Amino acid sequence: MNRPKFPWGDGRRYHANSKRIKEKYGGRIQKVSINAGFTCPNRDGTKGRGGCIYCNNQSFTPSYCVDVEDITGQIDKGVEFLDKRYKNPLFYAAYFQSYSNTYKPLEELKSIYSSALKHEKISGIVVSTRPDCIDDNILDYFELLSKDYYVSLEYGIESCYDRTLEWINRGHLFEDTKKAIQMTSDRGLEVTGHLLFGLPGESREEMLNQANIVSGLPLNAIKLHHLQIMKNTKLARLYRETPEKFTLFSMEEYIDFVIRFMEKLDPGIAIERLVSEAPPLHRVNPGWGNKRADWVQKKIESVMEEKDTWQGKQFKKSQKFL
């Protein structure tokens, strides 16, 4: 049986970012995570203390970033680890992942990024940051850098609702998110957004409506995450004290939800991730047992096949708005 082709040119039920990257750059780009010692304005007192209430960077930081202090050493360890796990990436990109990786003066940022780009295995950078930690000068530098290297920025959107952003102690508004993404896109830079589903205070319909909202943003790609409660966070304390305020997704509920979300999402936005994954030793809530993210992703695609649905099935350009 011939599989249907969707707007992104193949029979996969959603627009996979891996395919978009391969078509645009000629192969797979493998990210090497780096912890460069950044912090955040809602941690150091500039805007607040304690950081986002759900944040525990240890839950997603690879072990090779922990024991090695310098950037070159982290890249060496990371490439050694990834060479064993993956085959034949087009090139490696240094992934500045922990905390807000543009939250330093520009001259310091140049020194940090340059130290990674000097490594013989590195051909680009991926910079994860907050929307309020970017400005014209930094983006002008990234635009210049992109003439010779792969440059991609990832912004933590987390939620499109200001009341939620305030509750989770983000320290910025959704208007800041829209502005940062637009400024980045205007310079022709790769831009990815992160959304977090399951935060208390948001109904499932409000979460779904965010598909319409982010479809109005000039995103190349998006990462979707379900809420997991990490140890040593303010969210963990709130969960212990008031568990009735939390309605966490079961695996079956999340599969149904994320499919409905994708149906509403602009098919032009590629999806890099469908589900969160964190080591059980860092989680307070039990999660979904031993089900890994790749298993859940395959299950999502299987259910989409059964339902004969796909990303953007309910999307209409007339509904695209900011």
Torsion sign across C-alpha atoms 157, 163, 165, 167: negative
Rounded CA separation 65/77 (Å): 8
Burial of 113 (C-beta count, 10 Å sphere; 0-12/13-18/19+): buried
Alpha-carbon Rg of the chain, whole angstroms? 19
Q: Which domain holds residue 186?
A: 17-314
- 321 part of a folded domain: no
Q: What is the pLDDT of residue 316?
A: 82
Tally of CA atoms within 13 A in the half-sphere of 23 that contains its CB? 10
The answer to the question of residue 11 being in a domain is: no
Residue 108 lies in a domain: yes
Q: Is residue 133 one of the residues assigned to a domain?
A: yes
Residue 232 falls inside a structural domain? yes
- Structural domain count, the chain: 1
What's the predicted TM-score (pTM) here?
0.92
Q: What tokens were used for 296?
A: 């859940």
Closest of 221, 229, 142 to residue 188, by C-alpha: 142
d(CA 195, CA 214) in angstroms, rounded, equals 9
Tell whether 8 is covered by a domain: no
CA distance 18 to 81: 20
Answer whether residue 4 is part of any domain. no
- Where residue 105 sits, what CATH number does that domain have? 3.80.30.30
- Distance, in Å, from the CA atom of 154 to the CA atom of 220, rounded to the nearest integer, reads 10
Q: Are 315 and 264 in contact (CB under 8 A)?
A: yes
| Ordered per-residue pLDDT tens for the chain, 322 residues | 566 789 999 999 999 999 999 999 999 999 999 999 999 999 988 988 888 999 876 655 555 555 557 999 999 999 988 988 877 778 999 999 989 999 999 999 999 999 999 999 999 999 999 999 999 999 999 999 999 999 999 999 999 999 999 999 999 999 999 999 999 999 999 999 999 999 999 999 999 999 999 999 999 999 999 999 989 899 999 999 998 888 899 999 999 999 999 999 999 999 999 998 877 778 887 778 677 889 999 999 999 999 999 999 999 875 554 4
3 within some domain: no
